[in-house]
C-alpha cells in the first residue's frame, strides 16, 4: 500500500508553491518532511490529503487517483493531525477524539461503544486519558495537541499525515509522541510527519524529504540523506551532524548549528 505524488503542482489558486514534485509513503514506514518556514510543507501535506486541489500531476492512494476515492473511504485510510488551533466549541477532549471515528458510522449516528473504546484507548496511549472529560478550554495547548493526535489514532487509518505533531509540547511529551510513532510503524502504519527538529527524523524516520521553496532538494534514506551538507543547504546555515555517546554506552546522532558570526 502506498500514498504517492507524481509530478505534483501545489499551491493556492493562482499562487504556485511547488511544481513537479514526486514522493511516496509506504505502509509501515516513517517519512519525515523537513524544511524552513514558508517552504510549503503544510500546503504539500494538505494537497496529499485532498484538502486542497492539486495544480498539476496526481496524488495516488493505493494506486488509484485520490479524487476517485469516495470521501468516506478516503477518510478511513488517511488521517490528519493539523497544527493545533483554538476551538470555538466547548467539546471535551474525549468528544474531540470521538470525531475521528465519524467515517466508521452513519452520518447521523452517535458514537458507539466501540467508538468510545477506541477514543479512550488513543488518549491513554498518549498519557492524557485522565483528561478525557476535561473541556478543550480547560486544557493547555500541548494537551489539546495530544488530543488532535489521539483523534487521528482513533481513526485506525493505515496512513497518518502529521503536520508538526510535537509543536507546543514539552520535551517529555515530544518523546511520548515519538515513541507512539514507533509503535504505529511496528503495526504497519505509514506516517508522514513534518517537523522543525531534524533530530526527530534521526530518531524515528526511515526516509526524509527536504523541501525548500516548494522543491525537494533531497530525499532518501535518513542516514544517507540527512548529512551536515544537506541540512546546511536546507536551512542556509552551517549545521553539523555529530555523534554523541549515551550513558548506557549507545550512540545517537544530533544536529548542532554553528554559532552566529
Q: Are 44 and 21 in contact (CB under 8 A)?
A: yes
pLDDT of 24 reads 96
pLDDT for position 105 = 74
Residues 163 and 243 in one domain: no
CB contact at 8 A, 253 and 227: no
pLDDT at residue number 95: 92
Residues 124 and 176 in one domain: yes
* Residue spans of beta strands (DSSP E) within the chain: 2-12, 15-26, 30-34, 56-61, 64-65, 78-81, 159-163, 190-195, 207-212, 215-221, 239-245, 251-257
| Pair (182, 59) in one structural domain | yes
Q: Are residues 261 and 174 in the same domain?
A: no
Which pLDDT score, from 0 to 100, does residue 107 have? 58
> Rounded distance, CA 161 to CA 152, Å?
9
pLDDT along the chain (261 residues), means of 10: 93 91 96 96 95 94 94 91 73 92 73 90 92 91 88 92 91 90 92 94 96 96 94 94 90 83 51
Q: Say whether both 206 and 104 belong to one domain.
A: yes
Please state, in angstroms and rounded to a whole number, the distance separating the CA atoms of residues 117 and 107: 20
202 with 258, same domain: the answer is no
Report in angstroms the alpha-carbon separations of 139 from 84, 144, 159, 174: 13, 6, 28, 17
Phi, psi of 91 (to 5 degrees): -75, 155
pTM of the model: 0.90
What whole-number distance in Å separates Cα of residue 89 and Cα of residue 135? 9
Question: Same domain, yes or no, for 145 and 198?
Answer: yes
234 and 222 share a domain?
no
| 85 three-class SS | coil
Same domain as 244, residue 119: no
Strand-pairing partners, residue 137, are none
Question: Both 144 and 256 in a single domain?
Answer: no
Total domains present in the chain: 2
**Do 37 and 161 have their domain in common?**
yes
209: CATH: 3.40.50.300
Query: What's the pLDDT score for residue 104?
Result: 80
Task: Print the domain residue range for 6.
Answer: 2-226
- Same domain for 158 and 54: yes
Instruction: Look at residue 85 in the predicted model and tell me its pLDDT.
Output: 63
Instruction: Cell numbers for 54, please give them.
Output: 492539486
Amino acid at each position: 500500500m502506498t500514498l504517492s505524488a507524481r509530478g505534483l503542482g501545489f499551491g493556492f489558486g493562482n499562487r504556485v508553491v511547488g511544481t513537479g514534485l514526486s514522493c511516496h509513503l509506504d505502509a509501515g514506514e516513517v517519512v519525515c518532511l523537513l524544511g524552513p518556514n514558508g517552504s510549503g510543507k503544510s500546503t504539500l501535506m494538505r494537497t496529499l490529503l485532498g484538502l486542497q486541489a492539486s495544480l498539476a500531476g496526481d496524488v495516488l492512494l493505493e494506486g488509484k487517483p485520490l479524487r476517485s476515492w469516495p470521501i468516506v473511504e478516503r477518510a478511513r485510510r488517511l488521517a490528519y493531525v493539523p497544527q493545533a488551533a483554538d476551538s470555538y466549541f466547548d467539546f471535551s477532549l474525549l468528544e474531540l477524539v470521538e470525531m475521528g471515528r465519524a467515517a466508521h458510522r452513519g452520518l447521523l449516528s452517535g458514537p458507539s461503544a466501540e467508538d468510545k473504546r477506541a477514543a479512550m484507548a488513543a488518549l491513554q496511549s498518549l498519557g492524557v486519558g485522565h483528561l478525557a472529560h476535561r473541556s478543550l478550554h480547560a486544557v493547555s495547548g500541548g494537551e489539546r495537541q495530544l488530543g488532535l493526535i489521539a483523534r487521528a489514532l482513533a481513526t485506525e487509518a493505515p496512513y497518518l499525515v502529521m503536520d508538526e505533531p510535537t509543536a507546543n509540547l514539552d520535551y517529555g511529551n515530544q518523546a511520548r509522541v515519538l515513541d507512539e510513532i514507533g509503535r504505529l510503524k511496528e503495526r504497519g502504519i505509514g506516517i508522514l510527519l513534518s517537523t522543525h527538529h531534524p533530530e526527530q527524523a534521526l530518531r524515528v524516520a526511515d526516509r526524509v524529504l527536504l523541501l525548500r521553496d516548494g522543491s525537494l532538494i533531497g530525499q532518501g534514506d535518513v542516514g544517507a540523506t540527512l548529512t551536515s551538507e544537506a541540512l546546511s543547504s536546507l536551512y542556509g546555515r552551517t549545521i553539523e551532524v555529530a555523534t554523541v555517546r549515551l550513558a548506557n554506552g549507545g550512540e545517537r546522532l544530533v544536529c548542532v548549528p554553528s554559532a552566529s558570526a
